[in-house]
Amino acid sequence: MNYVIIGNSVAAVGAVEGIRKIDKVNPIVIISDEPYHTYSRPLISYYLAGKVTQDNMYYRGKDFYKANNVEPILGVKAQHIDFDKKEVVLEDGRKISYTKLLIATGSKPLTPPIEGVEKQNVFNFIKLDDAKAIEKVATRDSKAVVIGASFSGLKAVEALVQRGVNVTVIDIMDRIMPRVFDETASSMALKMLEKYEAKVLLKTSVEKILGHQAAIGVLLKDGREVPCDFIVLAAGVRCNTDLVKGTKLKINRGIIVDTMMRTNIPDVYAAGDVAEGYNFIEERNTEIPIIPNAYKQGETAGQNMAGAQKIFDKGFIMNSMPLLDLSIVSAGVSAPGEGITVKTIYNQEKNTYKKFYIRGNNLVGYLLINDIDRAGIYTDLIRRKIDISSFEHQLGRDDFGFIYLPKALRSQLILEG
């Protein structure tokens, strides 16, 4: 009996901890093409900003592999999986056989179809090596173009302005973080970016990257040129299914898994950004590319690989997206839709914004800017599908808490018995 995990990030760590809840003995092999001890991916922007050192980016302590009887094979890519022979073939020719396999290969950057993306000084912003490469060119007073005002694009902007780089971020949409933000939220964030002297160009796209070998600027659809020293691509990510494409493993956008994280092939599991698992709010399988989900899917997979019968069917998007001096959190539904009522509270003076999405008697989503305290209570109302009809009018109070819930519900949630 042995376990093999491809990937060495959040889902993989969740799986190791899940396996070890049940099985303290049988060996685990972790394979990753990244040569590093497991690290926190979001910290790459903090690394680039100079706020954490590489030594402090570890997601689990230095003794993690040893303490959990894990053999890490790092810096080596898995080339192929032979599902019949139950072995993983590595790029160096080694063959690793498995009793139970977890595919946790995460996501990969989407390369936008722009002429010249292959030029030097055009970077992705996904991995530690990306941040290290950007670090070399992102000197004080250099000029950067960031393509995509998504969350990770804006984290790159934040890090770059903190390094003293002149940044222009470009997005085709009419607002930033278009998937979670509306006009109001976007304008609050734009004001913050302006304060830090980051330029934002919306409703336009990059036609071409200028320069011979290395990028020296971009040409926009509207004819404008923006000169720069380097470019960061942040056009989004997609499930990294490269390893298993064209095999008998069932893939849609990601690897399709049931609520026990099993794929269609016996003894093969998938978890994290690469998986398409059950989305509790959308009531169908989707990719849910965030850490809390990657961890829980991984943990569930691990427990089941070790023989348990765990179900995880509560996955949904929740994200904290601090941007410069703004605190921003959101969970669940983030756009109006059929059968959904929206409640917003904007306080210009305090510079706070709260938005709730309600479907029937349930809270199904929210967005909070600046006043984010106790947001987890809202997340839990979503997670537990609690009937909010008797206290719906209290949502969004500055002092919102269990005290505004009916006594019986409050007792059930926080008091003992």
Partner 1 sequence: MDKSNITAPKRIYAKEDVCIGCRLCEIHCIAAHSKYRHDLIKTFKKLPKRPLPRIVVEEDVPLSFGLQCRHCDEPECVKACITGAMQKDPKTGLVINDTERCIGCWTCILACPYGVIRRDYTNKKVASKCDFCLESGLEPACVKNCPNEALYIKNTVKSHDL
Encoded one letter per residue, x for contact with ligand FAD by CB under 6 A and - for no contact, window 162-181 reads --------------------
125 is a site residue for ligand FAD (CB under 6 A): yes
CA distance 117 to 297: 34
Contacting residue, 2, 52, 54, 77, with ligand FAD by CB under 6 A: 77
Instruction: Report CA-CA distances (Å) from 32 to 36, 37, 64, 311, 312.
Output: 9, 10, 15, 27, 25
Contact 262, 129 (CB under 8 A): no
263 touches ligand FAD by CB under 6 A? no
299: burial class by Cβ within 10 Å (0-12, 13-18, 19+)? buried
Note the maximum CA span of the chain. Answer: 71
Q: Which of 309, 308, 273 is nearest to 294 (CA)?
A: 273
Q: Are 318 and 34 in contact (CB under 8 A)?
A: no
Amino acid making up residue 136: K
Q: Among ligand FAD, partner 1, none, what binds residue 379 when CB lies within 5 to 8 Å by partner kind?
A: partner 1
Q: Kindly state the smallest distance separating residue 112's Cβ from ligand FAD, in Å.
A: 16
The interface partner of residue 46, options being partner 1, ligand FAD, none and the CB cut-off 5 to 8 Å by kind, is partner 1
| The one segment of 76-84, 201-209, 289-297, 340-348 that binds partner 1 by CB under 8 A | 289-297
Rounded to whole angstroms, how far apart are CA atoms 142 and 337?
A: 43
Q: Residue 59 Cβ, how far from partner 1 at the closest point, in Å? A: 4
* 124 near ligand FAD (CB under 6 A): no
Nearest residue to ligand FAD, by Cβ distance, number only: 106
Residue 359-398 contact track with partner 1, rule CB under 8 A, x = bound: -------------xxxxxx-xx--x---------------
Sole binder of ligand FAD in the list 17, 33, 87, 258 (CB under 6 A): 33
Q: Show contacts with ligand FAD in window 298-337 (CB under 6 A).
A: 319
Q: Look up residue 5 and give its two tokens.
A: 């995990």
Q: Is 42 in the site for partner 1 (CB under 8 A)?
A: yes
Name the segment binding partner 1 (CB under 8 A); options: 112-120, 237-245, 326-334, 335-343: 326-334
Contact window for partner 1 (CB under 8 A) among 52-60, 75-83, 208-216, 280-288: 52-60
CB 189 within 8 A of CB 150: no
294 binds ligand FAD (CB under 6 A): yes
Neighbouring CB atoms inside 10 A of 255's CB total 30
Which CB, 95 or 407, lies closer to partner 1? 407
Helix H or strand E segment including 237: strand 237-239
Q: Is 51 in the site for partner 1 (CB under 8 A)?
A: yes
Task: Please list, in sequence order, all residues whose beta carbon lies within 8 angstroms of the beta carbon of residue 332, skipping any fewer than 6 positions away.
Answer: 281, 316, 317, 318, 357, 363, 364, 365, 366, 379, 382
Q: How many CB atoms lie within 10 A of CB 397?
A: 14
Look at the alpha carbons of 219, 223, 228, 231 in this order and tell me if their dihedral is positive or negative.
Answer: negative
Q: Which residues bind ligand FAD (CB under 6 A)?
A: 6-12, 31-34, 41-42, 44-45, 77-78, 104-107, 125-126, 152, 155, 240, 243, 272-273, 289-292, 294, 319
Using CB under 8 A as the criterion, which residues of the chain lie in contact with partner 1 when the complex forms? 14, 40, 42-43, 46, 51-52, 56, 58-60, 291-292, 295-296, 299, 314, 318-320, 322, 327, 329, 331, 372-377, 379-380, 383, 399, 401-404, 413-417
